[in-house]
């Protein structure tokens, strides 16, 4: 699972069924990866939430209910950045025209508020979401390990409310 070269360290590559029940497992894997990096607990929580939103979009929009597919998650570092790719091989389905429940339809906006860069590519092979955030120290293959311990829990509700409050017009 770990592969390292001069400018790239892959921490995780995982394929899970694109079903809501598997989002928790995905978050747990992301949490374990970001906990090893020199990122503040708040940034860790924001990263986990952004990945969860990207994966939830794949679950909701990529596949027909009768034909569920999979989500591929890849996490790696480059020099001074954390990169996370969420890929599905489904086909984008527009949400229904009926009014959405409160809080729905904000996933991409939320992701853009939580991480430094969000790139989304939709194509015939599926949707590829790349999330990128700066990390405060060089990638693990470029620096000595930090002796500090970092909390392993994320405060998703507080992070979501904070991010959404920044996106609301004033």
Per-residue confidence (pLDDT) for residue 142, from 0 to 100: 44
Please determine, for residue 169, whether its predicted confidence score (pLDDT) is greater than 60.
no
> 81 is in which domain, residue-wise?
3-167
Structure confidence by residue, pLDDT tens digits, 12-70: 899 999 999 999 999 999 999 999 888 899 999 999 999 999 999 999 888 887 888 99
Cα dist from 73 to 51, 107, 169, whole Å: 9, 17, 33
Per-residue confidence (pLDDT) for residue 54, from 0 to 100: 95
> In this predicted structure, which of 54-68, 115-129, 156-170 has the lowest mean pLDDT?
156-170
Q: For residue 15, give the CATH number of its domain.
A: 3.30.565.10
Residue that wins the pLDDT comparison between 107 and 25: 25
Cα dist from 169 to 14, 107, 164, 165, whole Å: 37, 17, 10, 9
Per-residue confidence (pLDDT) for residue 25, from 0 to 100: 96
Q: What is the count of structural domains for the chain?
A: 1
pTM of the model: 0.71
Please determine, for residue 150, whether its predicted confidence score (pLDDT) is greater than 90.
no
Per-residue confidence (pLDDT) for residue 141, from 0 to 100: 44
Mean pLDDT over each residue of the chain, to the nearest integer = 77
């Amino acid at each position: 699972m770990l592969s390292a070269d001069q400018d790239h360290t892959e921490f995780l590559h995982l394929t899970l069924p694109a079903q809501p029940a598997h989002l928790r497992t995905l978050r747990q894997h992301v949490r374990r990866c970001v906990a090893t990096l020199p990122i503040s607990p708040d940034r860790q929580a924001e990263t986990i939430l952004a990945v969860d939103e990207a994966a939830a979009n794949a679950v909701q929009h990529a596949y027909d209910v009768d034909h569920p597919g999979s989500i591929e998650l890849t996490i790696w570092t480059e020099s001074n950045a954390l990169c996370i790719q969420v890929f599905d091989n489904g086909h984008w389905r527009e949400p229904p025209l009926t009014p959405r429940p409160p809080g729905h339809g904000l996933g991409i906006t939320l992701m853009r508020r939580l991480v430094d860069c969000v790139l989304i590519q939709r194509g015939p092979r599926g949707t590829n979401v790349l999330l990128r955030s700066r990390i405060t120290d060089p990638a693990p293959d470029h620096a000595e390990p930090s002796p500090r311990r970092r909390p392993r829990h994320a405060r998703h509700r507080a992070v979501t409310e904070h991010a959404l409050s920044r996106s609301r017009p004033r």
